[in-house]
Amino acid sequence: MGTMGLALPWKARISSMPRERGTRVEPSEHFAGGPSPAVVNALSEDAALAAACRSGDLRAYERLYAMHGARMKNLARNVLGNPIDAEDAVQETFLKVQRSIASFRGQSSFLTWTYRILINTCYDARRSRLRKKEVANDDSEETPRHEPRTPGAHPALRMALERALAKLTQHQRDVFLLYEVEGFRHAEIARMLEMTEAASKNTLFQAKKNLRQMLEPPRSSAAEAR
């Protein structure tokens, strides 16, 4: 199985990673038992951070940025397609958190709530961009235009994936990005996107199935690659 992998249309071939790294199975969703001490600790940290932000302490926002700023920006960038819009969305998210922290009742975790705001802000930015396009009489379909970023180990693979992601439905793209790229659990994604956990799992499954089809090489090139 080690040589099996995702074959790309231009004959590049990525060896699959060991399954433990490639596919996450969420123990908390399958095994009974109370929350682990690490989870309890994370929850109390989350509540403390929310309380500090509610008190208007700017250092709390700085801590939130230090812990999640890069991840937030990465998510926004993958949704919006360019770093400038992504940075604007992150800044707008922090302002929205500051404005509405008084209404945060702790029904979900503070971080989940913050990411939900980020995702909604990205949706708003995308809609606004679409409206601007319509005003400019540009009929081209709204898909994120990905600008160059720091080169990774497999730039060709990244570009192919970005192109394929742009063809997914919004929900499929968001669930894939949140789960596979940002590493959130289905329970967290469900709260962020206001869906059930089962829907999140199913959407991820559909997204990966579609991506698999889009990234699958034509029969002939697949044979050549072998």
Partner 1 sequence: MNVTCNDRDRIFEDGTLAEWAVLEAHAATCPLCAEELGAWTSLSFAAQELRDYTESPALWPRIERALAEEAERKTLRAESRGWFSFFRNIPLGWQTAAAGAFVLVLTIFAGWFYLHPPRNGQPGDQSLLSSKVLKEVESAETTYVQAIDKLAAEAKPQLDNPATALLANYHEKLLVLDSAIADLRAQAGMNPSNAQLRHQLLAMYQEKQHTLEEVLETKQ
**Binding-site ranges for partner 1 (CB under 8 A):** 1, 3-7, 14-17, 19, 21-25, 27, 30, 56, 58, 61-62, 65, 69-71, 73-74, 77-78, 83, 87, 90-91, 94-95, 98-99, 149-150, 152-155, 157-158, 161-162, 165, 176-177, 180-182, 198, 201-202, 204-205, 208, 211-212, 215-216
Residue closer to partner 1 by CB (options 192, 211) is 211
**Choice between 129 and 149, CB closer to partner 1:** 149
**Closer of 43 and 155 to partner 1 (Cβ):** 155
DSSP state of 181: I
From CA 110, how far away is CA 75, in angstroms rounded? 17
The separation between CA 178 and the C-alpha centre of its own chain, rounded to angstroms, equals 3
* Neighbour-count burial of 107, counting CB atoms closer than 10 A to its CB (0-12 exposed, 13-18 middle, 19+ buried): exposed
Nearest to partner 1 of 3, 107 (CB atom): 3
Q: How far is the CB of 150 from partner 1 (least distance, A)?
A: 5
What minimum distance in Å lies between the beta carbon of 192 and partner 1?
17
If you ran DSSP here, which 8-state letter would residue 102 be given? Answer: G
User: Least separation, in Å, of the C-beta of 143 and partner 1?
Assistant: 15
Kindly tell me which of 133 and 157 has the beta carbon lying closer to partner 1.
157
Please report how close the Cβ of residue 137 comes to partner 1 at its closest, in angstroms: 32
3-state secondary structure of 153: coil
* Between 55 and 137, CB nearer to partner 1: 55
> Taking the complex as a whole, how short is the minimal distance between the CB of residue 132 and partner 1, in angstroms?
22
* Residue 86 · residue 80 · CB < 8 Å: yes
**Closest separation between CB of residue 162 and partner 1, Å?**
7
The SS3 of residue 41 is helix
Question: CB of 75 within 8 A of CB of 68?
Answer: no
